[in-house]
Amino acid sequence: MKPYVIGIDMGGTNTAFGIVDARGTVIASSSIKTGKHSKIEDYIDELYTEISRIIVANDAEGKINGIGIGAPNANYFTGVIEDGVNLPWPTPIPLADLITEKFGIPCLITNDANAAAIGEMTYGAARGLKDFIMITLGTGVGSGIVVNGQMVYGHDGFAGELGHVIMKRNNGRVCGCGRTGCLEAYCSATGVARTAREFLEIRDEDSLLREYDIENITSKDVYDCAVKGDKLALDIFNYTGTILGEALADFVTFSSPEAFVIFGGLTKSGDYIMNPIREAFDKNIMKVFKGKVKILISELKESDAAVLGASALGWEIKED
């Protein structure tokens, strides 16, 4: 078996990638903007150029065993992104075949949140856990469910879309998936920005957030204002965290996990988001599960969990 694999984390905003050795060390890594190109072929061309560059720079030519990719709604069984709701290209996309053809290296894909869960289980906060749920808070809300040490894929490869559990049945926000009221529409980074715009429109109190361009406000802007004690910003995090905590309490009833591992940019908001999550979780969890489930923050750097998890797929590929 060749000594290296490539791991690729295709997010809605950025695509991170790296060369990984058999011990799980990221030898080299970089990233590109996912939405830069209007055609998937142009995106793959840039990906090929940038990955080839780090392969050459690290004397890894001819030494790559396989490529593993974590991507939104990527189907492990078929190699196809069937409904990439946060990607800029029309679906379905036969991504595994396109990458294999371009690179001349076999490729496997899985859901990006599943890849992050595999990375967390191997190298992060979920080490030693056989039953846990990974929640990724990025452009969208993803999840990876591990039961008895195994990823849950379901019969068609699409199990674990907890970001699209309906949290608001009536008058919910339109989600990128086409339904209304999804968890993702409220608890992703883009959901936080949507909440900020709504609060600024329906409330008339003074706020530091009013100094920003309302159409381009971000979750980072909300955090910056929360740090300064801005009440509206703090209320936005309380609203977001409460919804997510309620959702996690419901998810416990499905697989009775030992822990949730929360991953992604919103975790950088620290107690502003985590305190309302834990408070709502404790308030809403079924009595039989109370005190049994931990809520942990990922121990891995933001790109590493998904890159390492995706790279693990590269070792599944056997040489002819």
pTM: 0.84
Asked if the structure places residue 320 within a domain, the reply is: no
Overall domain count for the chain:
2
Within a domain: 258? yes
| Whether 164 and 52 share a structural domain | no
Tell me, yes or no, whether 166 lies in a domain. yes
pLDDT of 319:
64
**Residues 134 and 185 reside in one and the same domain:** yes
Domain at 111, CATH number = 3.30.420.40
Alpha helices in 104-188 (DSSP H): 112-123, 184-187
- pLDDT for 309 equals 87
- Same domain membership, residue 158 and residue 112: no
Please state, in angstroms and as integers, the Cα–Cα distance from residue 146 to each residue in 5, 26, 156, 173, 293, following that order: 23, 24, 16, 29, 14
Inside any domain, residue 122: no
Structural domain including 227 reads 127-297
Looking at the fold, whether 100 and 244 belong to one and the same domain comes out as no
267 with 220, same domain?
yes
Mean pLDDT by groups of 10 residues along the chain of 320 residues: 94 90 91 92 97 98 96 90 80 96 96 87 89 93 94 91 95 93 97 97 96 95 97 98 98 97 91 97 98 93 80 82
- 111 plus 35 within the same structural domain: yes
Does any domain span residue 154? yes
Q: Are strands 107-111 and 64-71 parallel, antiparallel or unpaired?
A: parallel
- Tell whether 201 and 286 lie within a shared domain: yes
Q: ∠ CA(166), CA(169), CA(170), 5° rounding?
A: 145
The answer to whether position 142 is within a domain reads yes
Same domain for 98 and 151?
no
Same domain, 111 and 191: no
